[in-house]
Amino acid sequence: MKILVTGVRGVIGSKVEEVLLGRGHDVFGVDLLHAERTYGHGLGKVKSDNYFRCDVGEFRQIEEVVEYVKPDLVYHCAAEFGRWNGEHFYEQVWRTNAVGTKNIIRLQEKHRFKLVHCSSSEVYGDYEDVMYEDVLKEVPIDQMNDYAMSKRVNEMQIQNSRIMHNTETVVVRFFNTYGPGEWYHPFRSVNCVFVYNLLHGKPITVYKGHTRSSTYIYDAVNTLANIADNFVAGETYNIATNERHTIEKLAQLILKYTKADESLVTYEESHEILTTKHKKVDNTKSVEELNHVSSTSLEEGVKRTVEWMRKYYSLKGE
**What is the predicted pLDDT for the residue at 269?**
84
Distance CA 309, CA 161 (A): 41
| DSSP line for 220-267 | HHHHHHHGGGS--TT-EEEE--S--EEHHHHHHHHHHHHT--GGGEEE
Q: What is the pLDDT of residue 39?
A: 40
Q: Which residue from 104, 97, 145, 94 is spatially nearest to 119, judged by alpha carbons?
A: 97
**How far is the C-alpha of 210 from the C-alpha of 250, rounded, in Å?**
11
Assign 171 to helix, strand or coil: strand
Q: Is the pLDDT of residue 46 over 70?
A: no
67 pLDDT above the threshold of 50: yes
Average pLDDT over residues 166-189: 93
Q: Tell me, what's the pLDDT at 142? A: 86
Amino acid 273: pLDDT: 59
Task: Give mean pLDDT, residues 24-37.
Answer: 84
Q: What does pTM read for this prediction?
A: 0.91
pLDDT at residue 74 is higher than 80: yes
Sign of CA dihedral 145, 242, 73, 18: positive
pLDDT for 234? 97
Residue with more model confidence, 102 or 186: 102
Residues above pLDDT 70, as percent of the chain: 92
> For residue 69, is pLDDT > 60?
yes
Q: Mind listing the pLDDT tens digit for each residue in 202-248?
A: 999 998 888 889 999 999 999 999 999 999 999 999 999 988 999 99
pLDDT of residue 199: 97
Q: How many residues does the chain have?
A: 318
How far apart CA 192 and CA 194 sit, in angstroms, is 6
- What is the pLDDT at residue 85? 64
SS3 content of the chain, % helix, strand, coil (to 5): 45, 20, 35
CATH class label, 178-213+244-277+296-312: alpha beta
- The amino acid occupying position 299 is E
- Are the folds of 2-177+215-239 and 178-213+244-277+296-312 the same? no
Dihedral, CA atoms, 11, 16, 18, 22, nearest 10 degrees? 160
Pair 99, 57: CB distance under 8 Å: yes
- The mean pLDDT of 168-177, rounded to a whole number, is 96
- Of 117, 26, 131, nearest to 75 by C-alpha is 117
Compute the distance between CA of residue 163 and CA of residue 145 in angstroms, rounded to an integer: 27
Q: What's the fold here for domain 2-177+215-239? A: Rossmann fold (3.40.50)
Question: How confident is the model at residue 21, as a pLDDT?
Answer: 96
Distances (CA, A) of 243 to 120, 130, 247, 299: 18, 14, 13, 11
Helix H segments across 23-133? 59-69, 83-88, 90-94, 100-111
pLDDT digit string, tens, across residues 77-107? 999 877 766 577 688 888 999 999 999 999 9
- pLDDT for 108: 98
- pLDDT, one tens digit per residue, over 242-270 is 889 999 999 999 999 999 999 999 998 87
Cα 260 vs. chain centroid, distance in angstroms? 28
Domain regions of the chain by residue span: 2-177+215-239, 178-213+244-277+296-312
